[in-house]
Amino acid sequence: MDSIYVKDLVKKFGGFTAVDSVSFSVHEGEIFGLLGPNGAGKTTIINILTTILKPTSGFVKVAGIDIKNRPEVRRNIGIVFQDPALDNKLTGRENLDFHARMYGLDKKSRSSRIKEVLELVELTEKADVVVEKYSGGMKRRLEIARGLLQKPKVLFLDEPTLGLDVQTRRKIWHYIEDLRKEENITILLTTHYIEEADYLCDRVAIINEGKIIAVEKPSKIREMVGGEIISVKIDGKAKPFKDELIKNGLAKEINERNGLLDITVEKGETKLPLIIKKADKLGLNIDYVSFRKPSLEDAFLKLTGRKISDEFNNIGKKGS
Amino acid sequence: MAKKEVNLVVSMFGFFEINLSAVYALWVRDIIRFYRSKSRIIGTLATPLLFMVFMGFGFSGSDVFLGNVSLDYKIFLVPGILGMTILFNSTFAGISVLLDKEFGFFKEVMIAPVSRISIVLGRIAGGTTITIFQSSLILFLSTLLWFKIGSLFGFILSLAYMFLMSVTFISIGLAFASRMKDMHGFNLIMNLFIFPLFFLSGALFPLNRLPEPIKIISYINPLTYGVDGLRASLTGFSEFSIMTSFGATLFFALIAVFVGAYFFEKSEYL
Ligand SMILES: Nc1ncnc2c1ncn2[C@@H]1O[C@H](COP(=O)(O)OP(=O)(O)OP(=O)(O)O)[C@@H](O)[C@H]1O
Ligand SMILES: [Mg+2]
């Protein structure tokens, strides 16, 4: 059964179309990612799915309920907003208690659930400290815990790790993985970290300027790019080198970024020595070579002709 | 969804429902925030205290006339200062929803599966508790200075006035907040709403000193009846009968709650 069903969703702000005829569905128990650059429309989609914004047109069901039935949808979802939404003057526990009461949990389930979620995000020790004194990562973890308190059927995470350091980010990924094991839950998350989508998501929708470009498994998307990618940094003119590689059929495609040449090849293992030899012949020095399977970043670049974010980094890369 | 769920929901005439546990959650939050911010407690007490002490001593010994009875200004002033405390604190408590908007917590409140009226009532519950606490404190301090409370019944009656008055002004504050984006407009409200109501309420001087056309404004000013009622219950002297002032105060409180709830219901989420 589909836990989220979105059909021809459109959201206009005045004359500007922020979400442009988007359709997708998320299966029960799935972790689904919306991946796209700033302003792609990710938050707007989440706001509509969580009943905060009304769509201009389209049909949406969340947890099997039409989003026109606001109260019923709300009872079945949990949300972690992109921007912090904690009361800094309250302690972590008081924030959770507030939430639990707003969602009508009784005394017994309040205390047991609060204990459980605090343990999940490893905040038990800090539970009675005012949130003001939390670090950014702790605040984020508390918000994730809060989103889970009412045992939602669907959890929305809008940029769960934005602005956090690598270690904290990895920790949060682990919580989300644990979550999937322990609670029967569907998760829709947005991110512009490719690695995050790659690591966590069963499927991702790549979204750009309000439109979905592809919905696939991360591995499938990598396959769409095809072959492997050899990045080289050469000392000298790139142009003749590029032409030569293409002409000889050594490369399928070459992109330049950050002074690197990304050379897409088939059977990279055999092509790499040939490419180096070619450079030698042209009298070019190679300063640096890396060899990798294509990432979602490469896929995004290929699908949209646009980099996903300038702060792209290699954290948590699997199998590189 | 958690299996065990309390359904503390009160349905009013089938029109709207009130989630009691949400009202309670909002109330607790306000109380906690209040006692954690010592500067707010002191800051909000300082202005009325300064007014009371300096105006009280400054005009000490001069008599004011209410109808044809005369009364020492120091005694006349104390209920007025209570009115001031209630007016300023309650209006601010209502408008301070905007601070939640600024710090993001507003979303957490608004996304919860509870009716908006529950949120309004939660706000009112927290704000009135704090306002009554503060004005009682001012009243207590005034008795250390020069004031004498007429009777126990009078004191209890004054608490009822304090309650109704704070309900009125919190609701008005909420209505303002529903039409505002941020706290920038607060100064405007302070100057165009709060101060005029304060000066035209008989808090600092009797209404008979005012020119006739301006008196009309005083007569539609909720604070006028609240202050007069407080004066009646605490000192025994007043402009209107208790029936009039209590009736008017109750009337304004009810109207204000409906207006506040209406605007809040219509307001935007984000
Ligand atoms: N309330 C609004 N009024 C007008 N335009 C809006 C509004 N909300 C969003 N937009 C516009 O819609 C587009 C999509 O915004 P959205 O916040 O959904 O992007 P996003 O993918 O979440 O970006 P980010 O990664 O920066 O969070 C942007 O161009 C934004 O300026
Ligand atoms: Mg966003």
Band (B171; pLDDT cuts 50, 70, 90): very high
Q: What is the pLDDT of residue A312?
A: 41
Give yes or no for residue A18 CB within 6 A of ligand 1: yes
Smallest Cβ–Cβ distance between B29 and the set A83, A87, A150 belongs to A87
The response to whether residue A186 sits with its C-beta less than 6 Å from ligand 1 reads: no
- Residues B151-163 as b/e (b if ≥16 CB within 10 A, e otherwise) read eeeeeebbeebbb
Q: How do residues A177-233 score in pLDDT, each as one tens digit? A: 888 887 779 999 998 787 888 889 999 998 988 999 889 888 887 777 667 888 888
Confidence class for position B10, pLDDT limits 50, 70, 90: low
The DSSP 8-state label assigned to residue B209 in this structure reads G
Q: What is the pLDDT of residue B266?
A: 79
The Cα B143–Cα B138 span in angstroms is 9
Contact in structure between A208 and A37 (CB atoms under 8 Å): yes
Atom 18 in ligand 1: residue holding the nearest Cα: A41
How many Cβ pairs closer than 8 A exist between chain A and B? Answer: 97
pTM assigned to the model: 0.83
pLDDT category of residue B15 using cuts at 50, 70 and 90: low
In chain A, residues with a C-beta closer than 8 Å to the C-beta of B33 are 87, 89-90
pLDDT value of position A281: 84
- How distant is the Cα of A247 from the closest Cα of chain B, in angstroms? 56
Disruptive mutation site among A65, A67, A93, A102 for chain B (greatest number of B CBs within 10 Å): A102
- Residue B7, pLDDT score: 52
Closest C-alpha to B173, from B86, B59, B47: B86
> Which ipTM value was assigned to this complex?
0.88
* Cβ pair A87:B3 closer than 8 A: no
Cα–Cα–Cα angle for A13, B116, B262, rounded to 5 degrees: 80
Q: Which chain A residue lies closest to B101 (C-alpha atoms)?
A: A85
> Could you tell me which of A46, A50, A134 has the C-alpha nearest to residue A94?
A134
User: What is the rounded average pLDDT of the residues B52-74?
Assistant: 83
Task: Tell me the percentage of chain B whose pLDDT exceeds 90.
Answer: 42
**Cβ contacts (< 8 Å) between A104 and chain B: which residues?**
5-8, 19, 21-22, 113-114
β-partners of residue B66 are: B69
Report the residue count for chain B: 270
What HEC string does A21-52 produce? EEEEEEECCCEEEEECCCCCCHHHHHHHHCCC
Does residue B60 or residue A46 have the better pLDDT? A46
Dist. CA A91–CA A89, nearest whole Å: 7
Instruction: Give the position, in ligand 1's atom list, of the atom nearest the Cα of A44.
Output: 18
pLDDT (tens digit, 0 to 9) for every residue of chain A, 320 residues total?
Answer: 789 999 999 999 988 999 999 999 999 999 999 988 888 999 999 999 999 899 999 999 999 999 998 889 999 999 999 999 999 999 999 999 999 999 999 999 999 999 989 988 889 999 999 999 999 889 999 999 999 898 899 999 999 888 788 888 888 888 888 888 877 799 999 987 878 888 899 999 989 889 998 898 888 877 776 678 888 888 777 888 888 888 888 888 888 877 788 888 887 778 888 888 888 888 888 888 888 777 767 777 777 766 655 444 333 333 33
Res. B2: pLDDT tops 50: no
Residue A152 — φ and ψ, nearest 5°? -70, 155
Q: Decide if pLDDT at B265 tops 60.
A: yes
User: B205-230, pLDDT tens digit by residue?
Assistant: 888 888 888 888 889 999 999 999 99
B234-249 pLDDT tens trace = 988 888 888 899 999 9
Tokens 């939602």 sit on residue:
A152
Instruction: Compute the distance between CA of residue A30 and CA of residue A271 in angstroms, rounded to an integer.
Output: 38
Amino acid B1: pLDDT: 42
Return the pLDDT at A193.
80
Distance from the Cα of A191 to chain B's closest Cα (Å) equals: 20
Which residues of A are less than 8 Å from B36 in CB distance? Answer: 89, 130
Nearest CA in chain A to B27: A98
Interchain proximity A130–B25, CB inside 8 Å = no
Give buried/exposed letters for B187-222 (b at 16+ CB in 10 A, else e): eebeeebbeebbbbbbbbbbbeebeeeeeeebeebb
Q: Which two tokens stand for residue A284?
A: 């070019």
B-chain residue closest to A51, CA distance: B111
Domains identified in chain A and CATH numbers: 2-219 (3.40.50.300), 226-293 (3.30.70.980)
Cα(A19) to ligand 1 centroid in Å equals: 9
